[in-house]
């Protein structure tokens, strides 16, 4: 980018009608949005999404924190910031997973599914199957996570199955 040149801004409309203005680095995190906006002229009309404004703001917050990450980055562990972010937003974590799946934000989808698998005691693959959010190309990582979770379940005596643990950080 040339010095003094402004980054392009994009408008996204939530399903409840709120228009959010986002920078290009938010668009870069989402394969869905980056493909759509690549074929539109700037300034483009607001793009309608099926995500509500509350969840969309949280997705933008996550993308803001990870703006320097590669869009296809695979997270083996849940970073500290993400663990705190998901812990603070665990009431809407399933909505975050759905939004990440619909907008094709692989990193958020991966981290949120890992967090739900830890909280529920299920494998990451099982969480994705139950939520119907598989298929973004990271199934190979799930097999490793499943092996780790199965080892942990064998070591666990099972007396705290009722209690959901906090999301651990890396």
pLDDT bin (cut points 50, 70, 90) of residue 74 is confident
Alpha-carbon distance values, 152 to 9, 118, 121, 148, 157 (Å): 45, 10, 10, 6, 10
pLDDT value, residue 102:
92
11 or 149, higher pLDDT: 11
Tens-digit pLDDT profile for residues 80-115? 999 999 999 989 999 999 999 999 999 999 999 999
Q: How many residues does the chain have?
A: 170
What's the pLDDT at 99?
94
Looking at every residue in the chain, the average pLDDT score rounds to 79
CATH code given to domain 52-155:
3.30.710
Q: Where are the alpha helices (DSSP H) in the chain?
A: 24-29, 31-38, 53-65, 80-88, 93-103, 106-120, 124-131, 139-155
What pLDDT digit, counting tens, does each position of 143-162 carry?
444 444 444 444 444 444 44
Residue among 157, 158, 88, 82 nearest 113 (CA): 82
- The pLDDT score that the predictor gives to residue 150 is 46
14: pLDDT strictly greater than 90: yes
* Burial (CB count within 10 angstroms: exposed 0-12, middle 13-18, buried 19+), residue 6: exposed
- pLDDT score for 72: 72
Q: What is the pLDDT of residue 65?
A: 92
Between CA 115 and CA 7 the distance in angstroms is: 33
Average pLDDT over residues 49-72: 90
> What's the mean pLDDT in 64-86?
86
What is the per-residue pLDDT across 137-146, written as a single tens digit (0 to 9) for each? 554 444 444 4
What's residue 5's pLDDT? 56
More confident residue, 72 or 51: 51
């Amino acid at each position: 980018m040339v010095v003094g040149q402004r980054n392009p801004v994009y408008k996204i409309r939530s399903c409840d009608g709120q228009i959010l203005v986002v920078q290009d680095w938010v668009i870069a995190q989402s394969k869905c949005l980056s493909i759509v906006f690549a074929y539109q002229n700037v300034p483009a009309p607001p793009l309608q999404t099926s995500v509500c404004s509350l969840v969309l703001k949280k997705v933008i917050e996550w993308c803001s924190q990870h703006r320097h990450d590669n869009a296809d980055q695979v997270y083996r562990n849940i970073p500290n910031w993400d663990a705190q972010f998901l812990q603070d937003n665990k009431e809407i974590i399933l909505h975050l997973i759905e939004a990440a799946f619909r907008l094709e934000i692989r990193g958020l989808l991966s981290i949120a599914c890992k967090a739900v698998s830890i909280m529920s005691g299920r494998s990451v693959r099982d969480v994705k199957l139950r939520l119907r959010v598989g298929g973004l190309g990271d199934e190979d990582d799930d097999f490793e996570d499943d092996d780790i979770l199965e080892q942990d379940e064998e070591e666990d005596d099972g007396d705290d199955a009722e209690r959901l643990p906090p999301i651990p950080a890396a």
